[in-house]
């Protein structure tokens, strides 16, 4: 079971500014490794208190639709051989 990833968004109290985002695909595990560096600024603080934070998480790739291979069953017909 995969966990949903909720990215931080700006609110009336804080402003989120994304500084850097690196996406690295991993074919073996079928995920994207995400590295995000962002600045979080508190709007309620008189001096505009700011912090920098780093987040790392993985996003799974969607499953590929599997094609069903139907084997055609051939009926064996009696073949009459005349000699």
Q: Which long-range contacts (CB under 8 A, 24 or more apart) does 50-53 make?
A: 52/19
Count how many Cα atoms sit within 13 Å of the Cα of residue 34 in the half-sphere of its side chain.
15
State both tokens at 4.
Answer: 């949903």
Please report where in the chains the tokens 């962002």 appear, as a residue.
Answer: 38
| pLDDT number for residue 1 | 55
State both tokens at 68.
Answer: 């069903």
pLDDT tens for each residue of 10-48: 899 999 999 999 999 988 888 899 999 999 999 888 887
């Amino acid at each position: 079971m995969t966990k949903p990833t909720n990215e931080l968004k700006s609110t009336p109290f804080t402003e989120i500014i994304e500084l850097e985002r690196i996406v690295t695909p991993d074919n073996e595990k079928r995920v994207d490794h995400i590295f995000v560096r962002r600045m979080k600024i508190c709007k309620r603080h008189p001096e505009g208190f700011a912090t920098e934070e780093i987040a790392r998480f993985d996003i799974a790739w969607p499953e590929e639709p599997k094609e069903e291979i139907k084997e055609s069953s051939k009926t064996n017909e009696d073949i009459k051989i005349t000699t």
